[in-house]
């Protein structure tokens, strides 16, 4: 079972719309743990539920970053949702602020 911080993170990530992404820092701030971007990455990396679209969370520099199923799969899923990716970086117009 996940703690309340992890549950908040999952809730926020589930609210990211198709065609958009959020940074680990953005998710941490929205979850009330603003200095815990790495914690967000760890929580998402350990997630096994397909109901949480972890592929929609990227690094603050726009790079797609890691993914449990591999970077290629993350890029494939994002592109399928309409996210523009150049050189493994997400177009700024797709990043939630």
Cα 40 to Cα 63: distance, rounded to the nearest angstrom: 16
Q: Is 13 helix (H, G, I), strand (E, B) or coil?
A: helix
Buried b (16+ CB within 10 A) or exposed e, 57-88: bbbeebebbebeeeeeebbebbeebebebeee
Closest to 27 (Cα-Cα) out of 8, 45, 42, 46: 8
Catalytic residues: 54
């Amino acid at each position: 079972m996940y703690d309340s911080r992890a549950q908040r993170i999952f809730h926020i990530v589930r609210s990211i719309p198709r065609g958009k992404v959020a940074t680990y820092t953005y998710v941490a701030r929205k979850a009330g743990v603003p200095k815990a971007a790495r914690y967000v990455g760890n929580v998402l990396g350990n997630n096994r539920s397909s109901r949480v679209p972890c592929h929609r969370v990227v690094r603050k520099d726009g790079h797609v970053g890691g993914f449990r199923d591999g970077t290629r799969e993350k890029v494939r899923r994002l592109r399928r949702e309409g996210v523009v990716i150049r050189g493994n970086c997400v177009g700024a117009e797709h990043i939630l602020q």
